[in-house]
Chains A and B, each alone.
Chain A
Amino acid sequence: MSFFGLNLIGGAVDAFQQAANTTSDNIANFNTPGASRQVVNLTEAPPVTGSPGYATWQGPGTKGDGVIVQSITRIHQDSYDGLFRGASSAQSYFDVQQQQLSAIQSSFGEPSNGINAAFTNLQTAISQLASDPTGTSQRQSVITSAQAFVTALNRVGTAVQTQQATVIQQASTVVAQANALIDKIAALNGQIRASRAVGDNPNTYLDQRDQDVDALSKLLSTQTSVQSNGSALVTVGGRALVNDTQAYHLANPVVGTDASGNATLVIGMQGDPTPSNPAPVQLGSGELAGYVDVYNKNLTPYARKLDAFANAAASEIDRVTTASYDASGNPGIALLQPNVGTQAIGATNITVGITDPSQIPAALASTAAGSLTTGINSANNVVNTATAVQNNATFAHPGATVGPTTGTLTVTVDGVAQTFAYDFSGAGNAASVDTFVTSFNNAQLGVSASFDSVAQKMVFTRDPNNTGPAHRAAQGANPTTPSFTIADSNAPAGGSQGTPSSSLLEIFGATAISGVQQNGTNAVGAGDNGGANALLKLFSKNVGAPALQTTSPTAIAGAGSVTVAPPAGNPTAFAQLDVGGQLTIGAGTPAQENVVVTAVNRTTGTITFTAANAHAANFAIATTATTTLGAYYGGLVGQLGLDVQTATTGSTAQTTLAANIDKVRQGIDGINLDEETQNLIKYQNSYQAAARTMNVLETLLTTALGLIPGG
């Protein structure tokens, strides 16, 4: 009999006490984020090495020496951490996108309360104006609806800019959070390393570090590898954030530029040699990448498209209003003007330039009503518009049979003189009234021809919608003019009816058409709605966005990729162009072609595209008319909707994915109360059994002691 039994069972009581404590710790932390369950590893106590004189059954290892707590370990499987962190990064990325894009989507207010409604109202007001151009209320209504349109543009444009500022601010906050986490992880690395060095299990520190890396993964895509000394190497896009106890901080976001000189939101590392435009950290996903991508891939393109829309709308609408006459017969002024005249019109730089209803231009210069053109028929004959012009007695001036049958009409409008080569003989482009009207209008000279069969008059009307790329490019920065002039290279023959003429203008009832405008000679009058109708037509016409009309100083030698510089006087000509933009370059057949911008360089202001034809210096460059204004804006809204939908879908999918992975991970290392309760009962019972055993041993001992006399 010895006291050894008591010692042995005492150890057991102690072990069960430890186990119960660990269970208590688990129960206490079942709701603590990042806490892994800990288990007590009980093991049989190593046998006491006996003396050589002992019997064999008393030798070491034969008889048990009780139980001891070998270790308290943390149940954790690192492989699931990586999976969870990846899913969690993606979830945060989409969450941020979804929040930011939903906010901007609300700002657009589509489909009922946004720019589209205002744009539609403007169209309705113009339609009313066309119906009664003499009415003051109709004119006022155009101004009011234009103001509403501009206000809507300003509101949405400002909302996008505000959102951009908000994104930068929120990204800064996230950078601060990330830097704090990086510091914590570095500190924990130190503690874990120290603890490991002395052979401890730093379970709580490990939990904390995992928890911090989890939190960091929500902010950016981290890769973690645990080193042999227990420290964790945390990297993002190949760059270390934490190496042992060394923390590397992220820099605050700045708006720098990319290789092409486009403004981009960049997050670099602190200590970058160029803090104003640092080398960007590859953030992968996570909240930070979400903010950066929302800024660069969503908000910036939205702002540019919105500006391009405002710019194209203003350019096209103003082209018509400045080509028209107002109620007083004065040349029209631009309806939409920039707030800051030195900058291009954009969504936030646009205002209504007309406040006086009488200044709303609704009339177009035309020879229809005046005396600039006269009847082209002879005597009481009626000109059949399909029959030949040449030597036709039904014309007051038949086309000459001797002398030239070809010549050029020079149409001067918008400060640009363009020529139309005609040939009224045989199968020429002016062989009959009909062929002339068709070929003249196809030349897109800013003036359209039509024939009034009742009055037997050729009517030339200012047509701002009928201006081709060549005209636009030649016009450049020249102001649009409402009046126009047409001159003929062949002199009129004069004389009474029947005199043959080589001058096409004379054949068509005019000697020269100089400065057609609204005046006493050719008073179309304020009741004319030509300008209003031209405006209306604009809404269903394809236009180029952003508006661009310029020329290139350099020639193109032949097919191939070329980089074109802006004209000397206008270095920012291409500023609103983006990669993928469609341009129409050159003039005439077959030189005119459509090209796609393959690169832009904001620093030099140049653009690059692949041309198929050779072009002489000063060839025309204009944006290709590919879409109506409404459809262009609709495309922007569609893109926005798609982006929000993608972000929402992504957020939902990644949330589910992260939750599922976390469920599995928690299944391994999470704390289950029922399980812990069972353990508690188990350890309680074990403890009770050990205690009772101790009691029995104590009784035995007491019995043994009672045998000693005198006790």
Chain B
Amino acid sequence: MRIATSTLYAQQTQAIDDQTALYASLGQQLSSGKRLTQPSDDPAQIAQDLTLHTTIDAATQQSTNVQNAVSELTTTDSALSSLTSVLQSARQLAIQGSSDTLTSQQRTALGNQIDQLLQQAIAVGNTAYGGRYVFAGSAKTVNPPVQQQGNPVSAVQFLGNEQTQGQLVYNGQSFALSTTFGAAFNYQSSDGSPDVFQTLITLRNTLVNGTAVDQSAAAINQAGAVVYGPQGSPASPAPTTIGTPNAFAVTPVADTTGNYSITVNGSVNGVQGVSTITMPAGTAIDDGTATSLVGRINAVSATTGVTASFNAKTQKVVLTGQGSFYVSDAPSPGAANTGNLTKVLNLAPQADFVQNVSTQLGDVDHALNGVLNARSVVGARIQALGAIQSQLQTDLTDNKKSESGIEDVDVASAVTQLSQTQTALQAAYSTTTKLESKTLFDYLT
């Protein structure tokens, strides 16, 4: 075959150019460690690569966020642990106080200790982590969120809100990063039970003042039913009467005359007074008039010193007396037996200071349960976050592996290719030199 001399040169130049370009490209890959340094290196994978960059950065940041959240939740858990101690101490003091043998000075001393615990509970409510109050919800408060009112403290005001802080969204699921004030302190509970502060305030007042209270030990309504109070406007369900079927947890049973009677034995300014109240089955628990159960008890409070009320939220009847008083079922006139109204209303037969403190133990326990629940929620959240954290770490590792698979150079193969290219380049150099030195002119004399 005939070859033009200039073709020979062009061919060699091209070969050297090609090999040099490959050599340079391999050199760059090896020195940077990256196979994919620009989109055209792998157009099929570049979009995936960009997504991976974003995913990895997002997961890294989320991991940091989760770490912070775990620290904050740990602080919350410590706070709730302190609150548990406060309530347990209050419980001890209440048990100590529920004794007839105590003098009023001793009771006042116990009451003062309760007041100390109340202060402590307020301090717990104002726990902060990194400048944020952990129970304040999402409200940004400059002042501590729990503010005491009155001296001695008669109430507390909450400046925060019930939003959980820092909702973490992971895989489309929201994870709360804090507990709420309501959950931890039973504040403004949806079942109407008193919050931690109110419980402690009442307990302190009871110990200091010696008030007697007899309230339903449990809600009197049947689960899923409601004992309705006074009728609102427009017509709400008629007020529940003793005879309303399926309304009460304990079904009312009348005496032989078909009526219900209770005897209230109390005192007014130390003068004892007894009154027996008889009601037909159609008597409402509380309809806002004097003919209801509540109205009838209040009608004789000048004699007995006992006032009654019905809490529609908690579904409890509360009797309050100046001193000790007694409530018992009695036979109606002409009846051979008694009804079971005190059972239906879940009232204790005797209401005195001791009984009152005992009843309040129930509130303390309820609050304590709330705190323990909140703690278990916090614990579960810490655990969930731990799971997310490890999931994030796994994702990160996987994604980094994928990214490396796309971006990073296979060193072994690149080095092999580099040395091949080097050999080829050297061959091209030496071939060119040899070819260029060979011409017939060399032999022309």
Contact = CB atoms under 8 A, between A and B. Distances in A.
B161 A369 contact: yes
In the A-B complex, list the 10 residue pairs whose CB atoms are closest, starting with the nearest: A670-B4, A641-B39, A496-B232, A634-B47, A641-B43, A525-B139, A644-B40, A369-B161, A495-B232, A666-B4
B410 interface: no
A393 B315 CA distance: 14
A663 B40 contact: no
A498 B39 contact: no
Nearest to B247: A393
Interface stretch (B63-71, B268-276, B343-351): B63-71
B46 A641 contact: yes
B251 to A, nearest CB: 18
30 contacts: A30-B5, A110-B46, A111-B36, A111-B38, A120-B58, A123-B58, A127-B58, A130-B169, A368-B163, A375-B190, A381-B223, A454-B183, A494-B232, A496-B231, A498-B228, A499-B232, A499-B236, A525-B139, A529-B166, A635-B47, A638-B47, A641-B39, A644-B39, A644-B40, A648-B40, A659-B14, A663-B11, A666-B6, A669-B4, A672-B5
A421 interface: no
Given A132-B68, A525-B163, A496 B236 contact: yes
Nearest to A638: B47
A711 B236 CA distance: 167
A545 B229 CA distance: 59
Given A117-B53, A670-B4, A537 B169 contact: yes
B398 interface: no
A648 B18 CA distance: 13
B50 interface: yes
Interface string B145-156: 000000000000
A631 interface: yes
Contacts of B10: 659, 662
A527 B72 CA distance: 14
B287 to A, nearest CB: 12
Nearest to A33: B6
A131 B315 contact: no
Contacts of A702: none
B441 A498 contact: no
Contacts of B140: 134, 327, 525-527
Interface in A104-145: 105-106, 108, 110-111, 116-117, 119-121, 123-124, 127-128, 130-134
Contacts of A278: none
A648 B39 CA distance: 13
B224 A495 contact: no
Contact of B169 (A454, A533, A643): A533
A379 B233 contact: no
B312 A525 contact: no
Interface stretch (B97-105, B120-128, B130-138, B419-427): B130-138
B400 interface: no
B161 A524 contact: yes
Chief secondary structure at chain B's binding surface: loop
Contacts of B183: 454
Given A499-B232, A641-B42, 13 more contacts: A117-B53, A120-B54, A366-B163, A368-B163, A380-B314, A496-B228, A498-B228, A499-B235, A524-B138, A525-B163, A630-B50, A638-B47, A666-B6
Interface residues of B, number: 85
A86 interface: no
A110 B50 CA distance: 8
B188 to A, nearest CB: 8
A634 B52 CA distance: 11
Contacts of A529: 138, 165-167
B8 to A, nearest CB: 9
A240 interface: no
A524 B14 CA distance: 71
B2 A667 contact: yes
B412 interface: no
Given A495-B232, A496-B230, A498-B237, A638 B44 contact: yes
